[in-house]
């Protein structure tokens, strides 16, 4: 199945920032061709490297390879 990234949520760690060794993560809201919504999480740097942004389409295979499911 093909999904479109409809939202991208980055954490706001405020003035505390990230703990040493903690990798910044991003949550992607995906919408399938039939309107089903799905949330996944992956490293922020990986999303940047893959050029995944709002409007990008991704396949099930790409999601399984790179992401952690949230719902």
Q: What is the pTM assigned to this prediction?
A: 0.83
Read off the pLDDT of residues 13-71 as tens digits, 9 standing for 90 and up: 555 665 666 678 899 999 999 999 999 999 999 999 999 999 999 999 999 999 988 85
CA distance 4 to 2: 7
Domains of the chain in start order, with CATH, are: 2-11+24-69 (2.40.50)
CA distance 42 to 64: 11
Q: Are 53 and 42 in contact (CB under 8 A)?
A: no
DSSP state of 64: H
CA distance 20 to 2: 36
Tokens of 44: 């922020």
């Amino acid at each position: 199945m093909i999904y479109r990234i409809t939202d991208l949520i980055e954490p706001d760690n405020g003035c505390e920032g990230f703990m040493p060794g903690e990798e910044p993560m991003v949550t992607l809201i995906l919408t399938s061709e039939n309107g089903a919504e799905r949330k996944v999480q992956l490293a922020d740097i990986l999303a940047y490297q893959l050029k995944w942004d709002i409007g990008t389409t991704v396949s099930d295979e790409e999601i399984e390879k790179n992401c952690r499911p949230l719902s």
